[in-house]
Amino acid sequence: MLILLLINELKRLTMSKSIILILILISLFSTNLIIASSPQEIEQQIQSDLKKEKLSPRKQYYLYVLAGREFLYSSNIQLAKKYYTKARELKVYEDKSEVYINLISVAIRKNDTASIRKSVSNAKRYFAANPNYNKGSYSDYLNLVLKTKIFDSSIKEKDFSSLSKGFYNFEIRKVQFEELIKKKKYRMALAKLDPNGVSDAGVQYEILYDLLRVLVLKKSIKSSQLLCAPRYKKFPDDYSYTMMICGSLHEYLKHSKVSNKSISQLEKYFSKRYSDKSYLLLALKELK
C-alpha cells in the first residue's frame, strides 16, 4: 500500500523533486548499519555520564538525542521515545528536527494512530515556529508522511515498518568536525553524523563515527559493532590511519585503554602524512 502511494507521488513530481524523494526512500528502506549494545549497558552509560558530569542543558540534549537514536536502532521503542522526548522537552536553542521526525517514527513503530497524529501535529507546529529548519530532506520527509496520510490509516507493522527506522539529515562534509573534536564536543559531533549514510561518505567518516561512538558510549560498544571491524578483520596490518585507529579502538574495547605503543605509532604516522587528520589522535588519547 505505502509503496504504491509513493510510486504515484513520484509520477506527480518534477525531476528534481523526484530525485530528492528517491534519496529519502533509499535512506528509509536501507538496512541499519549499527547493531546496538544491550539497552541496559547503554542506559547505564548514559546515567553514569549524567551523574558524574555537571552537564549543561545543551550537553544533556545531545546525550538524549544519541540515546534516542541508539535505542531506535535497537528497536527498543519505549526507551527511544523516553530519550527523544527528554530531548524535545529540554529548553535549548538547538535544531530539534531529528527529534520531532523520529518521534513520528517511534509512533509508527508503536502502531498507535493517536500517537502518530500527535507526533505529526507536534512536528508541524515545531517547523512552523522554526522555518529555518523546515527545509531540505526533513521537510520532504514530513510532507511525504502528510501526503500518504499514514496517520489517518489503520497502521500495520508490515506495511509501515520502513518508516519507523528513523531519518537523519546531515550533510556531513559541511560539518566542522575538527573544530568540534578539538573543543571536545564529542556528543555534538557524533549527533551530526548520519548513521545510515556514513559508510557511503567514505572510510574516513566510518572511522570518525566509530571513534566518536566509543568516546561517547565507551565500553557499552562491542568490537564487532564498529563499522571498521570487517575491513580491519581482513587487513589488520594495513598501514593507514583509519585501520590503525580501528586497531586502537579494538584495543580499548578489549583492555579498557589504548597502549602507548599504539599512540606512538600514530604520532609517527601523522608526522609524515595526513597531518590534517591528526586531530583524531587528540580524541583517541582520551581513551588512554
What is the span of the domain harbouring residue 257? 173-287
Q: Is residue 153 part of a domain?
A: no
How many domains would you assign to the chain? 1
Q: Is residue 192 part of a domain?
A: yes
Q: Is residue 133 part of a domain?
A: no
Q: Is residue 263 part of a domain?
A: yes
- Res 267: pLDDT: 93
Exposure b/e, 252-285, CB count within 10 A at least 16 = b: bbeeeebeeebbeebeebbeeeeeebebbbebbe
pLDDT at 211 over 50: yes
CB of 61 within 8 A of CB of 90? yes
CB of 280 within 8 A of CB of 241? yes
Q: Is residue 177 part of a domain?
A: yes
- Res 23: pLDDT: 36
CB of 87 within 8 A of CB of 101? no
- Res 197: pLDDT: 67
Q: Is residue 261 part of a domain?
A: yes
pLDDT at 224 over 80: yes
- Res 156: pLDDT: 47
- Res 269: pLDDT: 92
Q: Is residue 262 part of a domain?
A: yes
**How does pLDDT run across 164-196, given as a tens digit for each residue?**
455 554 455 556 888 889 999 898 888 878 666
pTM above 0.75, yes or no: no
Q: Is residue 7 part of a domain?
A: no
Question: Which band of pLDDT confidence, cut at 50, 70 and 90, is reported for residue 200?
Answer: low
Read off the DSSP letter of residue 55: -
**How does pLDDT run across 86-115, given as a tens digit for each residue?**
999 999 988 898 899 889 888 877 877 788
